[in-house]
Amino acid sequence: MRIARDGILLYINEVGLSLLQEWHLQCGQTVPPALRDIVTQTMNEGVARTYDLKHRDRDYGFSVAPILEAGYANLYCHDITDRKRAEEEIRTLNAELEQRVRVRTAELLAANKELEAFSYSVSHDLRAPLRAVDGFSHILLDEQGTQLPPETQRYLSLIRSSTLQMGRLVDDLLAFSQLSRQAMIKDQVQPAALVREAWDLLRSEQDGRHVKLTVGDLPSCQGDRALLKQVFVNLLSNALKFSRKRDPAIIEFGCNCKDGENIFFVRDNGVGFDMRYADKLFGVFQRLHRSEDYEGTGVGLAIVERIVHRHGGRVWAEAEPDKGATFFFTLGEKIS
Amino acid sequence: MSTNNIEILLVEDNPNDVELTLYTLQKHHLANRIHVVRDGAEALDFLFCRGAFESRNPNHSPKVILLDLKLPKVDGLEVLRQIRRDERMRLLPVVIMTSSREERDVVESYKLGINSYIVKPVDFDQFSEAVRQIGCYWLLLNQPPIF
């Protein structure tokens, strides 16, 4: 249709008439104020533009092209009611979704808080009785030791060592549960330096042994420094532990690039394990060796897995009984 | 024993921990002048000479307070807050002895001006060594700020 600057309808075609039936448009007459306003505005601005107008329960889209020298504008009209409704529906759905996310987040926060209170209580209340059991067994041994039959002394020692083992379990379990609550601070990390730091922390486990560590060329990576150091400590500590009967123990920390991904690995020449049980390796409190042979709580590799997963990476192992083990991990980084 | 010349105030609700601590201190002859209170309210009564401790001389403060965090009635952090608000006692050496490794406990305690934070070990060898060192250090080695 064509509307003059003063709002008089100059021309309208069949399609326009049927589309705008409700508007009661007639050539030679002034159009309703809403239409007149968009014509005035477009003529003043001098550039074509589009407007959405609502009339009764329907929506219309107008493209308005001003023909300044002729003193009128050409208008093209579409019924956009369905599109508008769909948009409205999406808006409502989004709002609902946001509301649901808010509710869920609040629920999660509450659950997290409860978990925190739980672990706080565990850390306080579970240690105290253990200290008492260990302490009084110790005092009994100290004060009556020489008068007690050897078997009784042995039982008391067993009570003490079990208590200390339980203490380690509580500590490790707490460390594990705190992992997911801890915020991650990602940074550019030089793994070689971290390997050295981790290795130094494990000095006492190398005492009196013949151990050879080789560190390959390790590319820098993105990650949380403290958490990655924990991964390195746990993997190296395992490598040291399970190669204890080797002379020399040979441990290698290296990295391969495969399919655009850096794959770090820690390899030892220790006792290894049967691949049939590999799926149990990373479970909490899962152990593949008897505690008389190799002490531990079975939390170290669970911690490794959780940290690697939090970095978006994967961890797995390859081994053979008596032929050493290799632990591989990625940190979810693609190399271009 | 008079509560006027106490050197160590032990604030501990767990009777086993009290006994183990006293056992160790006694063994090293450090437990002659120790007083044990079993909750935060009693600790505050002792320190502020109120209630059962009304007749205690407020000018005699212990050389060190060994304070547990999780206590009945008034918890350790609140006891600490009240000590640090008091003009006379704000410099009193306080050593936290707790089972908690929670970082927020450590941070909050240091913010309130503690002098040391000890996580009580489960292993009695380590526990008694920690108690012995604390006793020797605060009773024999350290020069207290007041009194």
Closest chain A C-alpha to B4 CA, distance in angstroms: 31
Cβ-defined contact of A131 to B125 (cutoff 8 Å): no
Query: Considering the domain boundaries, does residue A53 fall inside one?
Result: yes
The mean pLDDT of A44-57, rounded to a whole number, is 90
Q: Residue A233 falls within a domain, yes or no? A: yes
Task: Count how many residues are written for chain B.
Answer: 147
How many angstroms separate the CA atoms of A240 and B147, rounded?
54
Same domain, A60 and A166: no
CATH code, domain carrying A9 = 3.30.450.20
Same domain, A8 and A45: yes
- Position A101 in a domain: no
Mutate to test the interface with A, among B124, B125, B132 (most CBs of A within 10 A): B124
Token duo for residue A245: 């009967």
- How distant, in Å, are the alpha carbons of A156, A285, B10, B74, B125 from that of B21? 21, 33, 9, 22, 12
Contact check, Cβ <8 Å, A128/B23: no
Please report whether residue A70 resides in a domain.
Answer: yes
**Same-domain pairing of A154 and A271:** no
Domain ranges of chain B: 3-140
Write A36-43 long-range contacts (CB < 8 A, 24+).
Answer: A36/A3, A36/A7, A38/A62, A38/A64, A39/A3, A39/A5, A39/A7, A39/A64, A39/A73, A39/A75, A40/A5, A40/A7, A42/A66, A42/A73, A43/A5, A43/A68, A43/A73
Q: What is the ipTM of this complex?
A: 0.82
Q: How much is the average pLDDT of A291-313?
A: 88
Count structural domains, chain A.
3
| Over residues A44-53, mean pLDDT | 92
Q: Is the pLDDT of residue A126 over 70?
A: yes
The minimum CA-CA distance between A164 and chain B, rounded to whole Å, is 6
Among A24, A46, A79, the domain-final residue is A79
Q: Does B24 touch chain A (CB under 8 A)?
A: no
Q: Does B70 touch chain A (CB under 8 A)?
A: yes
DSSP code string of A62-130:
EEEEEEGGGTEEEEEEEE-HHHHHHHHHHHHHHHHHHHHHHHHHHHHHHHHHHHHHHHHHHHHHTHHHH
Q: How far apart are CA A117 and CA B77, in angstroms?
A: 17
Strands (E) located in chain B: 8-11, 34-37, 64-67, 94-98, 116-119
Select from A123, A128, A139 the Cβ nearest to the Cβ of B101. Answer: A123
Beta carbons of B99 and A135 less than 8 Å apart: no
Would the CB atoms of A131 and B121 count as touching at under 8 Å? yes
Residue A117 pLDDT class (50, 70, 90 cuts): confident
Distance from CA of B29 to the nearest CA of A (A): 17
Q: For residue A259, how many other CB atoms are within 10 A of its CB?
A: 7
CB-count exposure of residue A275 (10 Å: 0-12, 13-18, 19+): middle
A130 located within any domain: yes
User: Which residues on neighbouring strands pair with residue A50, listed in sequence order?
Assistant: A63
CATH of B3-140, one of 3.40.50.2300, 2.40.30.10, 3.40.350.10, 3.30.360.10: 3.40.50.2300
Distance CA B68, CA A81 (A): 70
pLDDT over 90 (residue B94): yes
Confidence at residue B51, expressed as pLDDT on a 0 to 100 scale? 92
- Nearest Cβ partner for A127 among B99, B124, B128: B99
The pLDDT value given to residue A288: 81
Do A226 and A173 fall within a single domain? no
Cβ atoms of B88 and B82 within 8 Å: the answer is no
CA angle at A124 for the pair A120 and A126, rounded to the nearest 5°: 110
Over residues B50-71, the pLDDT tens digits come to 999 999 988 888 999 999 998 8
Chain B 26-65, residues with CB within 8 Å of chain A CB atoms? none
Do A141 and A219 sit in the same domain of this protein?
A: no
What is the rounded distance in angstroms from the CA atom of residue A225 to the CA atom of residue A186? 7
Are A163 and A232 contained in the same domain? Answer: no
Question: What is the reported pLDDT for A295?
Answer: 82
User: A148 CA to chain B: closest CA distance, Å?
Assistant: 20
Whether chain A has a CB inside 8 Å of the CB on B99: the answer is yes
| Same domain (yes/no): A192, A318 | yes
Chain segment B100-124, per-residue pLDDT in tens: 777 788 999 999 999 999 999 989 9
Q: Give yes or no: residues A212 and A285 share one domain.
A: yes
State how far the Cα of B47 lies from the Cα of B53, in Å rounded to an integer: 8
- Domain containing A72 equals 2-79
Q: How much is the pLDDT for B1?
A: 55
With CB atoms and an 8 Å threshold, state whether B16 touches A135. Answer: yes
* Owner of token pair 């110790």: A138
A298: left (phi over 0), alpha (psi -120 to 50) or beta: left
Whether residue A93 is contained in a domain is answered as no
In angstroms, the first-to-last Cα distance of chain B is 20
Residue where the block lists tokens 């399919």: A259
**pLDDT by residue (tens digit) across A201-214?**
999 888 889 999 99
CB pairs under 8 A between A and B: 61
Residue of B nearest to A161 (CA): B123
Which of A134, A142, A168, A173 is the mutation pick for testing B, counting most B CBs within 10 A?
Answer: A134
pLDDT digits (tens, 9 = 90+) for A225-264: 989 999 999 999 999 999 999 999 999 999 999 888 999 9
Tell whether A176 and A192 lie within a shared domain.
no
Same domain, A171 and A200: no
Query: Is B122 in contact with A127 (Cβ distance < 8 A)?
Result: yes
**Chain A residues lying within 8 Å of B122, measured CB to CB:** 127, 130-131, 134, 163-164, 166-167, 170
* A255: CATH: 3.30.565.10
Alpha helices in A225-279 (DSSP H): 225-242
Q: What is the CA radius of gyration of chain A?
A: 37
Inter-chain CB proximity B101 and A163 less than 8 Å: no
In angstroms, the CA A230 to CA A144 distance is: 43
Q: Can you tell me the distance from the alpha carbon of A202 to that of A295, in angstroms, rounded to the nearest whole number?
A: 16
Tell me how close the Cα of B35 comes to any Cα of chain A, in angstroms.
21
Residues A56 and A176 in one domain: no
Q: How far is A149 from chain B (nearest CA, A)?
A: 22
> Do residue A143 and residue A63 come from a single domain?
no
Nearest CB neighbour to A134, from listed B69, B101, B124? B124
